[in-house]
Amino acid sequence: MRPNRVFAWLAVLALLSACGDRPDPAAPGTGEASQESPRPVADDHASATSAEFRSFVETLIEDMLERSPEWAIYEGRYENAGRVTIPDAGHRAAEAAFVDDALERLAAFDRAALPVDLRTDHDLLHNRLESMRFYSRTLRNWEWQPSNYNIAGPVSILLNTEFAPLAERLALIRDRLEQVPAYYAAARESLGTPTLEHTELAISQNRGALSVLDDVREQAASAELDPGLAQSLDQALAAAGSAIEDWVTWLEQRLAALEESGQARSFRLGETLYEQKFGYDIQADFSAAELYRRALDEKERLLGEMDEYAAELWPKYFADEALPNDRLERIGRMIDRLSDEHVRIEDFVDRIRRQMPELAEFVRKHELLDQDPDKPLVVRETPEYMRGTGAIASVSAPGPFNPDADTYYNVTPLESYGEELAVSYLREYNRWMLQILNIHEGIPGHYTQLLHANKSPSLVKSLFGNGAMIEGWAVYAERMMLEAGWGDHEPELWLMHGKWLLRVTHNAILDYAVHVLGMERDEAVRLMREEAFQEMSEATQKWRRLTLSQVQLTSYYAGYAAIHDLRERLRDELGDRFDLKEFHNEFLSYGSAPVNTIAELMTARAGQALAD
């Protein structure tokens, strides 16, 4: 359930590492003033320092956008959209030098002399630049993640975003496609020893990229293009298609050789790399090991809460049966019974589509936060080139420089899984769990948060989105909606919400256990099935996701716990002056900054309010 945009910035990290065009994140941008305004400065020197820092940030961001046309496309800037970043050693060396220089220039600013809003921008930039250095020089995933190499994402955006007439967009696409053979040639040179899992994903998703070329052909056929453009586009499409097919064939041969030799790289990071990546990606005040221990404690708390709901519901659904003595059996039996109630396979996507306005009306009626009715959420089937990661749903939102573009709620149609697996998914996303999924992905979860992020006056906080804040907000939004009365406080819904939070805590538990402690597949699936009550479809897909990503699965619980802690702390400090809607609007006004950054800013404002 990742918002694709959570990873839009990872396109830049991938440029340092793989230089790939990964389909990804939603965005931020300029817009109406938010609650983040500069605090008064003490003197002219401080004011000059702030102005100089703002100028540095503006120049740095423009340089980054110039150097990464793929990232720029995701964020809504198209002036260099016809250029493709070729992922070769020369490019990586140039990017490494750029990062070193940017860090040196950033260090020249006295962080303590900046007002708090710019001080947090300084911290975010420092973390981002250091993480770029880590991804390129230490993690080096450009050597072992062939799934980073895919040209489909930017092409799809250029084709489907109406920032210019179709003929102009097709000319940009033609320019990009002409560079595809060189792109995949560099990918072959860059790749060292990959993992089996990322190789399989690369094969699947690059096959899906061919469908994007078909979409280009279809739209070009209906457009009135001048003969020269039409001919050159046809030639570029043919050459790009051949390059993709050659890349897939080459990967298939590599995969077979690795399977035969047993020499593939392990997908597990190990403790040192994992903790380093956790620090850069999550940006929290705790380590991965500390989060793992907290998640284990939270698991026990949730099971106790769920047991109470199971006992309450037992007479309604099992009137003639005694309550089992074992806690896991009680909860499991009740969840299994409730999972029988779900929509039909063919109604799955339509039910999601129809629930969006219901959620929006509930948020409006209960005054939970501000919305924007002029920017509707478009529910669509997940494009083929984005499938295969194990996530059944995601959100693709526009970048900060084109905030009026459509936001998509991507749903993989269950028919694509076959009947047995589709039914398993329907049981997992039953009558109650589907509501929670729609809150998480849609309203007031990812879609709503990313709309607010577009209005942050700080491009740093909007562009360099923190995954734990984004995923944490979506998880927080689920509980916030139930607390406000969504579902009329049905114990069935609260029990299923407990199951959802068990999934969230197990994401953190399993990611650490697999990548650091060496947990094997059978034990991970058993844990998900028997202690988190997940259907086999969800458990097996989650294992696949565990092998394809590192740290990202911890972001849900890390962000949720931090947001909930912040809300309760400010509620206690402000007392009668605490307003839930104001809390939500202010929290979302800081773009997609890390929760601890937002907490610093909101705490400062709360302290000022109490002093006034």
Give 102-117 pLDDT, tens digit per residue.
999 999 999 999 998 8
Q: Per-residue confidence at 264, pLDDT binned at 50, 70, 90?
A: very high
Q: What is the pLDDT of residue 116?
A: 86
Structure confidence at residue 27 as a pLDDT band (50, 70, 90): very low
For residue 317, give Cα distances in angstroms to 102, 307, 325, 366, 494: 63, 15, 17, 32, 16
288 and 427 in a common domain: yes
Flag the least confident range among 135-149, 385-399, 411-425. Answer: 385-399
Tell me the C-alpha to C-alpha distance, in Å, between residue 274 and each of 134, 298, 344, 545, 549: 12, 22, 41, 16, 11
396 bridge partner residues: 408
Give the neighbor-by-neighbor strand order of the sheet with 407-411.
377-381, 407-411, 393-396
The answer to the question of residue 524 being in a domain is yes
Please say which residue of 85, 113, 145 terminates a domain: 145
Q: Is residue 395 domain-resident?
A: no
**What are the DSSP calls for 250-291, one per residue?**
HHHHHHHHHHHHT-PBPS---HHHHHHHHHHHH--SS-HHHH
The helix/strand/coil state of 237 is helix
| Residue 303 pLDDT > 90 | yes
Write the DSSP symbol of residue 3: B
Instruction: Supply the pLDDT for residue 399.
Output: 74
Number of compact structural domains in the chain: 2
Confidence class for position 609, pLDDT limits 50, 70, 90: confident
**Mean pLDDT (whole number) for 304-312:** 97
* Residues 149-179: tens digit of each pLDDT: 999 999 999 999 999 999 999 999 999 999 9
Residue 239 in any domain: the answer is no
Q: Helix 555-574 to helix 288-317 angle, to the nearest 10 degrees?
A: 80
Q: How confident is the model at residue 45 (pLDDT cuts 50, 70, 90)?
A: low
Check whether 197 has a pLDDT greater than 90.
Answer: yes
Q: Name residue 381's beta-bridge partners.
A: 411
Among candidate residues 145, 168, 195, the one where a domain is terminated: 145
Q: Are 279 and 136 within one domain?
A: no
Chosen domain end from 145, 161, 195: 145
- With beta carbons less than 8 A apart as the criterion, state whether 130 and 280 touch: yes
The C-alpha atoms of residue 180 and residue 143 are separated, in whole angstroms, by 19
- CA torsion, ordered 122, 294, 491, 525, to nearest 10 deg: 100
Which of 131-140, 415-424, 452-461 ranks highest by mean pLDDT? 131-140
Co-location of 353 and 487 in the same domain = yes
Do 437 and 585 have their domain in common?
Answer: yes
Residue 258 burial by CB count (10 A; 0-12/13-18/19+): exposed, middle or buried?
Answer: middle
State the pLDDT confidence band at 289, using cuts at 50, 70 and 90: very high
DSSP-derived secondary structure for 453-473: HTT-S-HHHHHS--HHHHHHH
Helices (H) and strands (E) in the chain, counts: 25, 3
Question: d(Cα 18, Cα 24) in Å, to the nearest integer?
Answer: 15
94: in domain: yes
Tally Cβ neighbours within 10 Å of residue 127: 18
Report the pLDDT averaged over residues 513-539. 95
pLDDT (mean) for 181-207 = 97
Quote the CA–CA distance of 316 and 68 in Å, as a whole number: 58
pLDDT given at position 1: 52
Rounded Cα gap, residues 276 and 521, in angstroms: 24
Q: What is the CA radius of gyration of the chain?
A: 24
Mean pLDDT (whole number) for 183-210 = 97
pLDDT band for 41, please (50, 70, 90 cuts).
very low
- Is the previous residue joined to 444 through a cis bond, with omega within 30 degrees of 0? yes
Q: 436 with 338: CB under 8 angstroms?
A: no
Is it the case that residue 13 has pLDDT exceeding 80? no
**Beta strands, E only, 187-244:** none
% of the chain with per-residue pLDDT over 90: 80
Could you tell me if residue 183 is inside a domain?
Answer: no
* Average pLDDT of span 252-272: 97
Instruction: Judge whether 402 lies within some domain.
Output: no
pLDDT range class, residue 376, cuts 50, 70, 90: confident
Residue 579 lies in a domain: yes
| pLDDT the model gives residue 402 | 83
What mean pLDDT comes out for the span 475-496?
A: 97
CB atoms within 10 A of CB 492: 21
- Amino acid type, 130: E
Residue 175 lies in a domain: no
How far is residue 123's CA from residue 209's CA, in Å, rounded to a whole number?
37
Range of the domain at 93: 4-26+46-145
Give the model confidence (pLDDT) of 380-412 as tens digits: 998 887 776 657 888 988 878 888 888 999 998
Kindly report the average pLDDT of the chain as a whole number. Answer: 91
With contact defined as beta carbons under 8 Å apart, do 139 and 273 qualify?
A: yes
Round to the nearest angstrom and report the end-to-end CA distance of the chain.
42
Is residue 2's pLDDT more than 70?
no
Residues 272 and 135 in one domain: no
The whole model's pTM is what?
0.87
123 band by pLDDT with thresholds 50, 70 and 90: very high
Phi, psi torsion values for 383, nearest 5 degrees: -55, 150
Give me the percent of the chain exceeding a pLDDT of 70.
92
